[in-house]
Structure 1
């Protein structure tokens, strides 16, 4: 059986593939322009919560229109598959440069930092915090310029969807689950800057606890960097957010002042030349060479009006288009805040919110309307000039998947789920294909006892609330308002990824809605360092159950 392809494009070759899907180099038939097309795997496309998360992430990027962030042209969803069409960046991942060279030199490192800060600044102005900036998410082009390619676990300012990120680049406050702020992105960008300068990460550890302690307590190792650049290192890697620049734009001003004083007014030109020279040493990694692309973004969804052709930066055909990119990066769950001590006798409680989504209906969008953030979520419709969104009435928390044993980014991670796009636009390419859907602006709640199927169940967060107490948030999506049962099974373990010893369970019954967000608390009795919760439903969810773990704080600081 032939794999589904996006109508209007001719594929040239595959650039990469993984559990999440595949990325191909393609040509737009009408214009001949080369693009990257990313196809979501059938397994992930069947998970409604996951797909909704893609759409929410896409809307989050709607206000970004900058040469420092990769641009998306088109999202297509049909019965046979789902894909995004995006700008083809003929470049290689910064990680590949560092792997070959160890370091880039100071001027090149400053150029990388400035380009990334400018991309992050555009996100911060739009109310978006990246939360997972790292060398893998920066592409260096042949001319030495760079682009950000991953906003996969981005979130709104001061939101708290759970602990997420890549451990080596996570700010101290991220380890404790504090609200996301632009200062965390400044920290991650500075950690990458340090790696470009020295060839090593600022902090290292043999396990999560050791690495967490280094980020939380160890002095900033600025003595390893050139003396003239140490003030930037100390500022960007400060332990508390208020001691760092408040956002990326503020840090750019400091960077330019320090760089000019240390290396002269032409530092940027020399730094870009150095990056171009380093990239030229790895010609087979460029997509244009026929090799396998590295460091490109993973799969995303978006909502936009029908484009006639892709274009670099701005479509030449006068039709709005928009998109958001996200990588299926592994979210890293660790201990949250420690509150008052619980006891074995504490009774678990559950708080729930429910809403019925009346379902989508296709509605054309006005191509002249600029995108606006959706007020009830942390996302905004992605757009070069995208269609306007009608605010949805539901708000969902983030989803945190099980962490890989090494805490590194993985191709098998989850996203930040939402409730589905609040607005989309139809496409005329082929009748079965859908560019978007519009949810009803007036959902209602209807009680019923009809049989119901559970589409998805997801543990969206798990955090430590006391020395012995934890709290989990579970999101359930159904196809009707009939009764369902949630079973949460708690466990403790001495290793990541394993459920370990049973530590109790709870049963919660609900009906009358199609979406439920349940908050369940538990007093743990086991003494291991990993607390876990597994959520299942009756009737069983199409996606099975959902398991989440957290590394408790007493083990981090032991």
Structure 2
């Protein structure tokens, strides 16, 4: 489908929901991203309606900390959303390349994303899929929230959707999502910025659900002044968390000033920009024909032709493309699409063998530090805490939160091997005595 008023240049990316095209608005040369719904999903009337609702929801949100929807078009053979093209990289890519951001930079990331969420919450919209892939970091050290593909009205009952690693306890319980649901996910992302890994890891959906529902997050790696902020945001009950992103933002400002002084934000933005610039520099930027900015988003170094088209070099990968095609819906896949190992509602889970535990990887100072990738229902990571058998993946029985932290491996001071723990722990796997020359190995990822 040709979108009137826009000239498409090339594909930026594609995913389960469709493809994203780089395009130029004919009237002023503005560079945009056009999201086309896939042919398979166009055959699903309910999904098309949800796609249309996504566009309507985002158009109501007017914030410099969200990617704007500029237009929506629907025809017999296509449905498209025209979106602002954001100059930046995904937070996921930043974490993969740079590891933990440092406390002040992490606070800046969280503040920008919370500002975008706050505007959505004021409009009665809940994001429901806050994760590093949906946060874009700009070269000036700012952050924007994108991809409202599974957003809903606050309090609306909807199928279980989201990314498992970032789903709040109430989402696992099939309870209505509210602003506090987004606060929980935002705090998980903040934790990942601070430590380089997520607080909860599991080898299957049921185990991950149990951890989010019952296990207290390990806070030992968090700077002590920030622990109350993280603990409040990760409370198991929505009523025990900040009631909205705006309320959480006020707590963030107070905690940041108390811990790092009045100048925490300029320092954090500078640090975040330093981390982002090497990655953003890999993207070429457009310059409009005839000079000046021409209203064109500064994203590529190449030139617009007089006809308003963009000459683009090969190998272009854009954060916006990744973000607007990344929404993950579990247990509500359209016909013909596999949901992997996701468990449908009500599926019984047989008692599992004792789970082994492993500490999250400790980031090293090397530039190649890579935090754990985003989990999917089929991810085979080892759980970070003991996960007893769960008989219902949809609704593990609630129990008082236990203050259980996952074991953490620490670097050894020399070649001497550590003796295995003598205290019997039936559900943990002991490391055997090393035979031969001792060596230091990284914990399993």
Q: What TM-score do the two structures reach when normalised by structure 1?
A: 0.55
Query: Cα deviation per residue 1:486-517 (whole Å; 9 max; x = unaligned)?
Result: xxxxxxxxxx89xxxxxxxxxxxxxxxxxxxx
Equivalent residue in structure 2 for 1:404, among 339, 356, 363: 339
| 1:198 match | 195
Equivalent residue in structure 1 for 2:317, among 273, 289, 293: 293
TM-superposed deviation, 1:188: 0.3
Q: Is the contact made by 2:126 and 2:177 (CA closer than 8 Å) also made in structure 1?
A: yes
TM-superposed deviation, 1:80: 4.6
> Following superposition of structure 1 onto structure 2, how do residues 292-441 of structure 1 map, counting pairs within 5 Å?
292-296=316-320, 327=325, 329-333=327-331, 404-405=339-340
| 2:178 match | 181
Query: Cα deviation per residue 1:11-50 (whole Å; 9 max; x = unaligned)?
Result: 3332112343321222222212211122222332233222
Specify whether residues 78 and 164 from structure 1 end up closer, same or farther in structure 2 by C-alpha distance, changes over 3 A only.
closer
TM-superposed deviation, 1:235: 0.7
| 1:6 match | 3
Query: Cα deviation per residue 1:253-310 (whole Å; 9 max; x = unaligned)?
Result: 01001101111112111111111111112132575265433442679xxxxxxxxxxx
Specify whether residues 204 and 294 from structure 1 end up closer, same or farther in structure 2 by C-alpha distance, changes over 3 A only.
farther
**What RMSD, in angstroms, separates the aligned Cα atoms of the two structures?**
3.1
> Following superposition of structure 1 onto structure 2, how do residues 94-173 of structure 1 map, counting pairs within 5 Å?
94-173=91-170
Give the Cα–Cα distance (whole angstroms) in 2 for the partners of residues 157 and 83 of structure 1: 25
Query: Cα deviation per residue 1:134-176 (whole Å; 9 max; x = unaligned)?
Result: 0000111111111111111111112221222111111112111
Query: Cα deviation per residue 1:304-330 (whole Å; 9 max; x = unaligned)?
Result: xxxxxxxxxxxxxxxxxxxxxx65622
Q: Is the contact made by 2:140 and 2:269 (CA closer than 8 Å) also made in structure 1?
A: yes
> Partner of 2:92: helix, strand, or coil?
helix
Give the Cα–Cα distance (whole angstroms) in 2 for the partners of residues 203 and 465 of structure 1: 22
Q: How many residues align?
A: 334
TM-superposed deviation, 1:66: 0.6
| 2:85 match | 88
| 1:264 match | 261
Give the Cα–Cα distance (whole angstroms) in 1 for the partners of residues 262 and 338 of structure 2: 45
Q: Is the contact made by 1:130 and 1:151 (CA closer than 8 Å) also made in structure 2?
A: yes
Q: Is the contact made by 1:38 and 1:84 (CA closer than 8 Å) also made in structure 2?
A: yes
Structure 1: give runs of 5+ residues left out of the alignment: 300-325, 334-398, 409-461, 468-495, 498-527, 531-549
Specify whether residues 182 and 6 from structure 1 end up closer, same or farther in structure 2 by C-alpha distance, changes over 3 A only.
same
Structure 2: give runs of 5+ residues left out of the alignment: 285-298, 302-312, 350-376, 379-388, 400-426, 428-445
Query: Cα deviation per residue 1:452-494 (whole Å; 9 max; x = unaligned)?
Result: xxxxxxxxxx755999xxxxxxxxxxxxxxxxxxxxxxxxxxx
Q: Is the contact made by 2:136 and 2:143 (CA closer than 8 Å) also made in structure 1?
A: yes
> Partner of 1:35: helix, strand, or coil?
strand
> Partner of 1:223: helix, strand, or coil?
coil
> Partner of 2:230: helix, strand, or coil?
helix
Q: What TM-score do the two structures reach when normalised by structure 2?
A: 0.68
Query: Cα deviation per residue 1:503-540 (whole Å; 9 max; x = unaligned)?
Result: xxxxxxxxxxxxxxxxxxxxxxxxx989xxxxxxxxxx
Q: Is the contact made by 1:209 and 1:556 (CA closer than 8 Å) also made in structure 2?
A: no
Write 1 or 2 for the structure with the bigger share of strand.
1
Specify whether residues 406 and 104 from structure 1 end up closer, same or farther in structure 2 by C-alpha distance, changes over 3 A only.
farther
Equivalent residue in structure 2 for 1:76, among 73, 78, 88: 73
Give the Cα–Cα distance (whole angstroms) in 1 for the partners of residues 181 and 237 of structure 2: 9
Q: Is the contact made by 1:138 and 1:295 (CA closer than 8 Å) also made in structure 2?
A: no
Equivalent residue in structure 2 for 1:207, among 192, 204, 207: 204
Give the Cα–Cα distance (whole angstroms) in 2 for the partners of residues 18 and 161 of structure 1: 23
Equivalent residue in structure 2 for 1:551, among 359, 372, 393: 393
| 2:282 match | 284
Give the Cα–Cα distance (whole angstroms) in 2 for the partners of residues 293 and 406 of structure 1: 29
Specify whether residues 213 and 19 from structure 1 end up closer, same or farther in structure 2 by C-alpha distance, changes over 3 A only.
closer
Give the Cα–Cα distance (whole angstroms) in 1 for the partners of residues 189 and 117 of structure 2: 14
> Partner of 1:76: helix, strand, or coil?
strand
Q: Is the contact made by 1:298 and 1:327 (CA closer than 8 Å) also made in structure 2?
A: yes
Specify whether residues 71 and 294 from structure 1 end up closer, same or farther in structure 2 by C-alpha distance, changes over 3 A only.
same
Q: Is the contact made by 1:164 and 1:400 (CA closer than 8 Å) also made in structure 2?
A: no
> Partner of 2:64: helix, strand, or coil?
coil
Specify whether residues 5 and 257 from structure 1 end up closer, same or farther in structure 2 by C-alpha distance, changes over 3 A only.
same
> Partner of 1:551: helix, strand, or coil?
coil
Specify whether residues 136 and 45 from structure 1 end up closer, same or farther in structure 2 by C-alpha distance, changes over 3 A only.
same
Q: Is the contact made by 1:98 and 1:196 (CA closer than 8 Å) also made in structure 2?
A: yes
